[in-house]
Homo-oligomer: A and B are copies of this chain.
Amino acid sequence: MKKRYLYAPGPTTIPERVLAATAHPLVHHRFEDFARVYESVVNGLKMVMQTQNDIIMLTGSGTAGMEATVANLLSPGDRALVVRGGHFGERWSSICRAYGVSVKPIDVEWGRAVNPKLVEQRLKEAEGSEIKAVFTTLVETSTGVVNDTEGIGAVVRDSNAVLVVDTVAGLGGENYLADEWGVDVTVGACQKCLMTPPGLSFISLSEKAWKLVPNSKSPRYYFDFTTAREKGAANGTLFTPAIGLFFGLAEALKMIEEEGLEHVYRRHELLARACRAAVQAMGLQIFPLNPANVLSAISVPDKIDGVELSKHLRDHYGITFGGGQGQLKGKVLRIGHMGYFDKFDLITSIAALEMALRDKGFILDLSVGVRAAQEILIGE
């Protein structure tokens, strides 16, 4: 018997009661049974997004939600600012370009958060040539950075541009107040902090964002927000949705409500703090300067191949962490301490990392990281 531990920064381990809920016998999506589940999902998402805005539900990955946003808001030739400080910022820019949008990149060194003042400056520089949207990322999973969405919101709010935030990796784990911070469009997905098997994406839109929709000339049908909004008002989805995943997400959102969103945030903050202390005690470094609470990207020591280390952890110890993406391939290991993850999952993660590092020739005292984590987690 080898137990398996899925500690990647998404998809994440699914709570047993959510797995059981996804296996609910099917109900037809055009009748009351589904309408009830749909409504509870939408209300739960409004709670975690902290928004009063409409929410569009899509069957698809987070990327589907990102693409749907670009297709509904922008036309070929429109201008957009895109914050790029990692793999997922780059994805915004790739999608925009696929739709003929003129991208003004704000490139940020990987591992750093964007400075909201830089966004403000770029918006000012562009005055005259209208920027229709600013695209950014709450948690850049590839680098482990959390961006200052509140600060960005404060500078975008008074411009003509809408602020679009990819929250796929942070929503439900990282502090987030869509309406209060002036976020116009929040794009999320169910498989990270929201503890549901992948397959659902969702988008909330402010009235400022809705005003762009009728003017977009980009082709879309499956992704069309206007028709989706009409159906959504009747507690349904435009096309046959992933019904089982709606049952799962409703259950996961109920768990978040039971724990309390504030407590969920505190738990993630505590786990992040314990992970960082353990990493430091082991003589390693956290890669980003602005680390998120939902994952830790850890720099792999110079003489060790990060790809080999990940593989050893997975094959020998049954532990799946995230590896490095893009320019960080082989250079970082990412522990997703998000969603259905508690203090003993962190202890397991650190203990396994210590053992695997020793196996690969890195000199460290076993348990130094574990002990540092325990010091923070004890009594909590």
Contacts and interface: CB of A to CB of B under 8 A. Distances in A.
B59 A198 contact: yes
Nearest to A314: B31
A98 B23 contact: no
A350 B19 CA distance: 35
Contact of A60 (B71, B219, B222): B222
Contacts of A94: 221
A197 interface: yes
- Report, as a range, how many residues of chain A touch the other chain: 35 or more
A14 B28 CA distance: 12
A110 interface: no
Contacts of A6: 25-28
Interface stretch (A132-140, A174-182, A236-244): A236-244
A13 interface: yes
A contacts with B: majority SS: loop
Interface in A185-243: 189, 191, 197-199, 218-222, 224, 238-243
A100 interface: yes
Contacts of A14: 25-26
Interface of A: 4, 6, 8, 10-14, 19-20, 22-29, 31, 59-64, 67, 71, 94-95, 98-100, 189, 191, 197-199, 218-222, 224, 238-245, 314, 320
18 contacts: A4-B25, A6-B26, A10-B240, A11-B29, A12-B26, A13-B26, A19-B24, A19-B25, A20-B23, A60-B222, A61-B222, A67-B222, A191-B240, A197-B243, A197-B245, A198-B241, A199-B244, A219-B219
